[in-house]
């Protein structure tokens, strides 16, 4: 049984897998880590192994606490991965993107796969049917676009994420919603069209915090999943310990 620890800027995701089945997950604050770790270990005494992603956000004492209780790996570019990395700067490739690509190999082996992770940034990662990771793209996510309009202009308001009711915004607020949300939707649809033109058998994965919101906006057929990163981390743990 595996414990997956995915550390963000302010929150930590804890997940428990039995082989490939997700049994439990929760998002906690960094300050709650020690308490919730103990609670999870108590609830799942069969836990043996762990993987920690984005380890720089945890204190050394917190990492040591995990390693004292479980056989634990810290995710880095130095582990073994189930694909050939053709990125020209492999050590600058984020561990979250590595986990997503690993998940694609596990879930869709020997397929052309484009993974779109819609979070703070929107990342596009492509792996071909020969299990070669070629790279992708990075662009601002939904909240970054709303915040940029507010922070870098004198009068535009900071608005909550809202699905536009029309293409043409007839007031400042509706124009912002149309520009941000329709702009992202058209960006993604345009990128997907180009990939489909080059790879007729393309599988597309949409994941990340804004995946559910965006999936209703997009025209292209996609497979939306919220647990793809966690599945990738579990696969990497198994791949490096079996």
Q: What is the CATH number of the domain that holds 29?
A: 3.30.420.40
Q: Which residue, 74, 107, 130, sits at the end of a domain?
A: 74
Within-domain flag for 127:
yes
Strands 11-18 and 21-29: antiparallel
Same domain, 64 and 140: no
pLDDT digits over 149-180, tens only?
A: 999 999 999 999 999 999 999 999 999 999 99
* CA dihedral angle for residue 147, residue 149, residue 151, residue 153, rounded to 10 degrees: -170
Residues labelled catalytic: 96
| Site of tokens 């990771």 | 133
Same domain, 133 and 168: yes
pLDDT digits over 107-155, tens only?
A: 999 999 999 999 889 999 999 999 999 999 999 999 999 999 999 999 9
With 90 as the cut, is the pLDDT of residue 1 above it? yes
Provide the β-strand partners of residue 27. 13
Same domain, 20 and 128: no
Same domain, 167 and 94: yes
Strands 132-140 and 84-85: parallel
Annotated binding site for ATP: 6-13, 120
Same domain, 111 and 215: yes
Same domain, 113 and 12: no
Q: Which of 163, 118, 125, 162 is nearest to 141 (CA)?
A: 118
Strands 2-7 and 49-53: parallel
Q: Which residue, 18, 46, 74, sits at the end of a domain?
A: 74
Same domain, 108 and 212: yes
Q: How confident is the prediction for the chain on average, in pLDDT?
A: 93
Residue-level pLDDT at 55: 61
Same domain, 109 and 228: yes
Contact status, residue 177 vs residue 169, Cβ threshold 8 Å: yes
Task: Give the residue numbers spanning the domain of 31.
Answer: 2-74
Within-domain flag for 224:
yes
Contact status, residue 17 vs residue 234, Cβ threshold 8 Å: yes
Same domain, 112 and 228: yes
Annotated binding site for substrate: 87, 94-97, 172
Q: pTM for the complete prediction?
A: 0.90
Within-domain flag for 238:
no
Same domain, 52 and 93: no
Task: Write the DSSP assignment of 60-104 as a string of letters.
Answer: HHHHHHHHHHSEEEE--TTS--SSEE--SSGGGS-HHHHHHHHHH
CA separation, residue 99 to residues 76, 113, 164, 191, 227 (Å): 10, 14, 33, 22, 11
Annotated binding site: 6-13, 87, 94-97, 117, 120, 172
Same domain, 61 and 94: no
| Domain count within the chain | 2
With 80 as the cut, is the pLDDT of residue 38 above it? yes
Residue-level pLDDT at 40: 97
Strands 203-207 and 223-224: parallel
Q: Which of 186, 190, 220 is nearest to 206 (CA)?
A: 220
With 80 as the cut, is the pLDDT of residue 231 above it? yes
Separation of CA 40 from chain center: 23
Same domain, 130 and 205: yes
Q: Which residue, 46, 74, 102, sits at the end of a domain?
A: 74
């Amino acid at each position: 049984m595996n414990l997956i620890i995915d550390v963000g800027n302010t929150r930590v995701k804890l997940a428990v897998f039995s082989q490939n089945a997700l049994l439990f997950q929760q998002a906690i604050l960094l300050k709650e880590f020690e308490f919730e770790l103990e609670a999870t270990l108590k609830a799942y005494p069969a836990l043996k192994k762990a993987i920690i992603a984005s380890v720089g956000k945890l204190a050394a004492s917190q990492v040591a606490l995990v390693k004292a209780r479980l056989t634990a790996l810290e995710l880095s570019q130095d582990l073994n991965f189930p694909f050939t990395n053709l990125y020209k700067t492999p050590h600058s490739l984020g561990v979250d993107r590595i986990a997503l690509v690993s998940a694609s190999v596990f879930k869709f082996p020997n397929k052309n796969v484009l993974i779109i992770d819609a979070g703070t940034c929107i990342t596009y990662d492509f792996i071909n049917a020969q299990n070669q990771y070629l790279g992708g793209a990075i662009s601002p996510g939904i909240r970054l676009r709303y915040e940029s309009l507010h922070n870098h202009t004198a009068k535009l308001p900071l608005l909550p994420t809202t699905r536009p009711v029309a293409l043409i915004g007839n007031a400042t607020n509706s124009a912002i919603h149309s520009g941000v949300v329709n702009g992202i939707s058209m960006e993604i649809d345009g990128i997907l069209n180009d990939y489909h033109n080059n790879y007729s058998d393309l599988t597309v994965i949409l994941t990340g915090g804004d995946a559910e919101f965006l999936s209703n906006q997009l025209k292209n057929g996609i497979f939306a999943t919220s647990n793809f990163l966690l599945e990738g981390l579990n696969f990497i743990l198994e791949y490096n310990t079996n």
